[in-house]
Amino acid sequence: MIQKFKNYAILFLLLIFLSNEAFTQIDTVRLNKYYFKKYWTDTKAVVISPASWDQNDWIKLGVLVSGTAGLSLADQSVNDYFQKNRTAGLDRVSKNFLEPFGGNYSLLLMSGFMAHGLIAKNQRSVSTSLLCLESFALASLFTRIPKILVGRERPNNPEGYGPYTIKGPFHGNSFPSGHTTAVFAVASVVATQYRDTGWVPVTAYSVATLVGLSRIYDNKHWLTDVVAGATIGTLVGNLVNHRNSNSKLTVVPFRNSNFQGVRLAYTL
């Protein structure tokens, strides 16, 4: 069973890395009215996007939902495995290093990017900080909706409920994992912004994955809570990266084997 779990994890991370191939680095984001307007336009894009989905999009959603449901068969086994292999040292690592990435450490990381950008006059660092902040905020917002509506009980519930205990709206907040959503939302932005530096995407997604696993280790979430959170966070991060233009007309760097320059791109 553990080997199957590892295979699922490897496949999931592969899909995440491939999903970032469609995006490029951004160094044009500024703290101005367009940036704050972007929060609204990106939120609206997520909300109304199903209206423009075609059959393939709905099939992908069905595969995602059915895959998560199938993965729930391993929820109890994975949880039991982690609880049987807890140690005092791992408890300290999870509590003091991994868990804070769901909030405080992610915010410190964004502050670090902003400080470096301002001091070194590095606009990509500034853009990364602002994109991370938006991705973090929107992912946290969108996570609240299924948390409230689904009402799944956490594995550490004192009543000892199992992974299939769904009590409905306002009666449980396990699904999905908010910590995992937030850290993957930030990791996906950082990984895309610094994809030209090979170790950065690997480190970003590795830390995010460890944070997600720590939520299972700490007995706070089921496996499917973590997978769903990672999916939401990555999708939101990629959307934030993709919808980056302050206006419809954008100057885009261009280079091939013969020459380099810029070209204009018009966004409909």
| Residue 110 reports pLDDT greater than 90 | yes
Residue 161: pLDDT band by 50, 70, 90 thresholds?
confident
Longest alpha-carbon distance in the chain? 68
Residue 247: per-residue pLDDT? 39
What digits encode the pLDDT tens for the residues 63-101?
888 888 889 999 999 999 999 999 999 999 999 999 998
Q: What is the mean pLDDT of residues 239-253?
A: 57
Residue among 178, 183, 190 at smallest CA distance from 241: 190
Residue 175, both tokens? 């699904």
**pLDDT of res. 53:** 82
Residue 152, beta-bridge partner list:
166
Minimum mean pLDDT range among 34-43, 50-59, 115-124, 196-205: 50-59
C-beta of residue 190 within 8 angstroms of C-beta of residue 125: no
CA atoms of 150 and 215, how far apart (whole Å): 19
Return the structure tokens found at 11. 């496949």
Strand partners, 182: none
Per-residue pLDDT, averaged over 226-235, amounts to 93
Domains of the chain with CATH codes: 2-266 (1.20.144)
Model confidence band, residue 3 (pLDDT cutoffs 50, 70, 90): low
Assigned token pair, 7: 């295979």
More confident residue, 47 or 226: 226
**pLDDT score for 31:** 85
Higher per-residue pLDDT: 1 or 127: 127
Q: Is 168 left (phi over 0), alpha (psi -120 to 50) or beta?
A: left
- Is residue 5 exposed (0-12), middle (13-18) or buried (19+ Cβ within 10 Å)? middle
Residue closest to 186 by CA, chosen among 232, 227, 220, 228: 232
Mean pLDDT (the chain) is 82
